[in-house]
Amino acid sequence: MVTISDRKKNILKIIILGDSGVGKTSLIQRYVNGKYTQQYKATIGADFSTKDVEVEDINGGKATATLQIWDTAGQERFQSLGVAFYRGADCCILVYDVANEKSFAKLKAWRDDFLLNSNVSNPESFPFVILANKMDIDDSKKQVSTKQANDLINELSSGTSGDNGDNGSITKKTIPLFFTSAKGDLNVENAFKEVARKALQQNQYQLSTTMFDDDDFSNAINIRLDGSSADSCQC
């Protein structure tokens, strides 16, 4: 769980979702370790990797942050674990395989499941980034067109986030889409750079709202002496 203290230290929690076999683990390994392996091993439950990065903050400056990237299982039997892993997320990556139309069709369900179980305070503006993975394969094997991807982006972008506005709120903008290949190291660095930027904005937004939410005086201690009058003078 990411705490308020973690937020102040810019520890950014990233959740990566998508069907089994779309390349989530390979994307993380490529980004974090600069490696790729042909051997496929399904993720059981969830695991996470970390990477220290320099990120552009909401004021256009630079901030150092630690990305905590959670790799979740794509099999349906593990989806019930989502509640525990989604909480405290600062950004969510949705991944599909361009050679698997079913994985593309499930993106909206993954997005909805995250919003249902993550308990984010700003579901209409929470940042998502979509990765169309395995772009290294032959065009004849691709099952999802660029038009289909853009149509889905337009559908999902209704009520989702972009950059922070001048008043600290997060404005509604199109969900970023990156065409990636973990195998060919295509666009992976650029995609995670955008993920980090959006995660930091969400983190700073959450921190600012939490500071106000914590101003709860309902349990304040009354230190007035017993028997003293509110309008009496003790001088």
CA distances from 145 to 101, 102, 105, 138, 160 (A): 10, 13, 12, 13, 23
pLDDT at 98 over 90: yes
Buried/exposed code over 85-112 (b: 16+ C-beta within 10 A; e: otherwise): bbebbbbbbbbbbbbbeebbebbeebbe
**Tokens representing residue 160 in the block:** 């989702």
Weakest-pLDDT range from 45-59, 63-77, 131-145: 63-77
pTM for this entry: 0.78
61 Rama class: left (phi>0) / alpha (psi -120 to 50) / beta: beta
Give Cα 234 distance to the centre of its chain. Answer: 56
CA 41 to CA 126: how far, in whole Å? 30
Tokens 């993106």 locate to 107
- Give me the percent of the chain exceeding a pLDDT of 70: 70
CATH architecture designation of domain 4-213: 3-Layer(aba) Sandwich (3.40)
Q: What average pLDDT does the segment 24-47 reach? A: 81
- Domain boundaries along the sequence of the chain: 4-213
